Structure 1
Amino acid sequence: MTQWKWESTGDEVVEAFKEIVKGKTIVITGPSQGGIGSETAAALAKTSPSLLILAGRTESNIAPVMARIAESSPDVKVKFIISPSAAAEINGMVTTIDLLINNAAIMACQYSKTEDGIETQFGTNHIGHFLLTKLLMDKILAAGAGSRIVNVSSSAIRGNIRYDDYNFQDGVAYDPWLGYGQAKISNLVFSRALARKLKSKRIFSFSLHPGSSTPGAANL
């Protein structure tokens, strides 16, 4: 039986595994102030990773998180990377990545498409992380056994993956919650596929439900 309870905090969990986190290189996407990613970053920083890379689209949303970490964990090196160029910058900065947390997400928003023509929730919550993980995979593999990929999913999902029509008939058949569900189910499928493919290398992949009291706004 797990030792953790509903009331357990991120700080308590990280403290229990601090020797695993110490000295590691960690990448977190979408750690905006007040979101899941910011709390994750602040908790992990307390156990002395060697480098904490925070990737987001708007630096002003991440700056308060970096200031908080600088105050609570002044010895931890923290770097902000803007999302569109994240993979190239990260690959040029590090030789290994021990932990990648794909957290950035939007929830149940109105229909729109990314610049690549993909329904925005599917593009943001899944395709973007799929591509980032692929582009960073050499660094994850270089970290070797024990490195991890975490995809933040949700239990608040319904519907399925519309493999032949992920754009909902170009918005005609769109439902915000079905769009969210498609993206979050994709996180689950992606995590399971990675776990199978990386098992022989002892590199782990997980998806998770982040809790019931989480922000509904964009964690970008």
Structure 2
Amino acid sequence: MPTFDGYSTSREVVDAFASQVQGRTIVITGAGQPSIGSSMATTLAHASPAHIIIASRTAAKVEPVLDQIRKINPVVKATFVQIDLGDHESVRSAANEILVATGSKIGLLINSAGNMAIKEYEVDKQGIETQFSANHVGHFLLTNLLMPALLVAAAEDQERGARIVNLTSLGYRISPVIFNDYNFSDGKTYDHWTAYGQAKTANILFAYGITARLKARGVAAFAAHPGSNIDTNLGSHLSMEDYGAIPAIAKRNTGTDFEFDEPRFKTFDQIGATPLAAALDPSFSSKGHSYVANSQVEEPDEIARDPRNVEKLWKLSEKLVGQEFSY
């Protein structure tokens, strides 16, 4: 079986695991152009999935990606579903639309939408801090609403099962989830990097929570750190000075030293490789951890894998979306 690293490309990963893609229904959030999601969506099209659904806020940003998918492989059905992850009514409506469009069977869900280090304190429609909302809480709700369709796919295709991939970041090391003050005292104690770290830690804890509950039923979840790329515009509002502040903030929040990983920057062709490996590599299910970096499973820091934090996050998330999910 091939192995990949921080320099592998998205296409190399998809070509190696094409049999994991063929004929499957795939849902990707975000994926407006240019983004990690759009890179993954167009690359996956080469391996002939049955259907790629992109759930995103703005149709105009997604239509060029859908057109590209159809151009790459006219056999692949490509669909847009409107969603605002910061509006739980919108998430519920989108989930219903996706379930109808997929015939309630989804082999792969990639939670790719998100934001990064928003400098001013903002809240979503429910009053939840916007980074925690867009990166984690909205995806927690969407994922669980789509779970019946993932379980159907896993039961019908036991060899491949079903997978969920959350996009996280090495930035999780900036902060744990602040369970007693996730909303930063309504903004009074807000720090944009701490909020980002909290959200990215939540992405990993959520993956552990899904796997603990559903691995025995064929659904595995991973949180993938794709690396950094300047083409996606995710951090276009940030300066090098902003990035330079991270180590001190991380030290203050966690007591540990923060170091950027290598390669420091990846090309647009490389940026989707790690989440695609998390989605497709069959060997990952037996590795015992839910964090993937540079296309390999790794053990994350304790703040992102402690079983007590996994369960605390699940309970907090249920409270924030107003619904319990037990399996």
User: Which range, TM-score by smaller chain?
Assistant: over 0.9
Matched, 1:108 2:120: no
Please name the residue that 1:28 is paired with: 28
Please name the residue that 1:147 is paired with: 162
Structure label with greater radius of gyration? 2
Matched, 1:47 2:57: no
Equivalent pair of 1:107/1:216 in contact (CA under 8 Å) = no
Equivalent pair of 1:26/1:99 in contact (CA under 8 Å) = yes
Cα shift readout 1:4-27 (whole Å, capped 9, x = no counterpart)? 133321011001110110000000
TM-fit CA distance, 1:202: 2.3
The 5 A counterparts of 1:85-164 are: 85-94=93-102, 95-109=104-118, 110-144=120-154, 145=158, 146-157=161-172, 158-164=174-180
What is the identity, as a one-letter code, of the residue corresponding to 2:76?
V
Please name the residue that 2:211 is paired with: 195
The alignment partner of 1:65 has SS state of helix
TM-fit CA distance, 1:216: 4.7
Equivalent pair of 2:207/2:221 in contact (CA under 8 Å) = yes
The alignment partner of 1:156 has SS state of helix
The alignment partner of 2:171 has SS state of coil
TM-fit CA distance, 1:2: 6.2
Taking structure 2 as the reference length, what is the TM-score of the superposition? 0.64
What is the identity, as a one-letter code, of the residue corresponding to 1:206?
F
Matched, 1:217 2:231: no
Q: Matches of 1:122 and 1:64 in 2, distance apart? A: 29
Q: Matches of 2:214 and 2:69 in 1, distance apart? A: 32
Please name the residue that 1:57 is paired with: 57
TM-fit CA distance, 1:191: 0.2
What is the identity, as a one-letter code, of the residue corresponding to 1:86?
A
What is the identity, as a one-letter code, of the residue corresponding to 1:192?
Y
Equivalent pair of 2:29/2:113 in contact (CA under 8 Å) = yes
What is the identity, as a one-letter code, of the residue corresponding to 1:82?
Q
C-alpha RMSD of matched pairs (Å): 1.5
Equivalent pair of 2:169/2:225 in contact (CA under 8 Å) = yes
Equivalent pair of 1:106/1:216 in contact (CA under 8 Å) = no
Cα shift readout 1:33-82 (whole Å, capped 9, x = no counterpart)? 01100000001111111110000000011111112112212221000000
Cα shift readout 1:154-176 (whole Å, capped 9, x = no counterpart)? 00231111112111011110001
Q: Matches of 1:5 and 1:217 in 2, distance apart? A: 23
Taking structure 1 as the reference length, what is the TM-score of the superposition? 0.95
Q: Matches of 1:89 and 1:212 in 2, distance apart? A: 32
Matched, 1:176 2:185: no
Q: Which runs of 5+ in 2 are unaligned?
A: 84-89, 236-327
The alignment partner of 1:131 has SS state of helix
Please name the residue that 2:298 is paired with: none
Cα shift readout 1:137-196 (whole Å, capped 9, x = no counterpart)? 100111113110111100023111111211101111000111111111000000001111
Identity within the alignment, %:
45
Cα shift readout 1:92-125 (whole Å, capped 9, x = no counterpart)? 2222000000010100012100001000000000
Q: Matches of 1:167 and 1:127 in 2, distance apart? A: 12
Q: Which runs of 5+ in 1 are unaligned?
A: none
What is the identity, as a one-letter code, of the residue corresponding to 1:9?
T
